[in-house]
Amino acid sequence: MRTRSWIGNDIVDLAEPGVAGKERDRRFMDRVFTPEERDRILAAAAPTLALWKAWTAKETAFKIASKLREGVIFAHKAFEVGSEPAAAAGSNLTTAGSLGQWVSVQFEDLDIRVRWEMAVDYIHCVGQLARGDAVNAQGASEPAVRPRRLLAGILHDSQALDGILSLAEQASVYSTASERARLLARRLMDRWDLQGAEIVRMWRAWGWGPPVVAQEGHPIAGFDVSLSHDGRFVAAALAGPVLT
Q: Choose the most confident range, by mean pLDDT, from 86-95, 171-180, 213-222, 228-237.
A: 228-237
Question: Residue 101: how many CB atoms within 10 A of its CB?
Answer: 13
Domains of the chain (ranges plus CATH)?
A: 7-240 (3.90.470.20)
Q: Are 68 and 134 in contact (CB under 8 A)?
A: yes
pLDDT of residue 4: 58
Q: Are 49 and 124 in contact (CB under 8 A)?
A: no
Q: pLDDT band at residue 84, thresholds of 50, 70 and 90? A: low
pTM of the entire structure? Answer: 0.85
Residues facing residue 13 across a β-bridge: 122
Residues 147, 59: Cα–Cα separation, whole Å: 22
Q: Which of 70, 74, 81 is nearest to 44 (CA)?
A: 81
Bigger pLDDT: 149 vs 77: 77
Residues 144, 177: Cα–Cα separation, whole Å: 33
Residues 210, 39: Cα–Cα separation, whole Å: 33
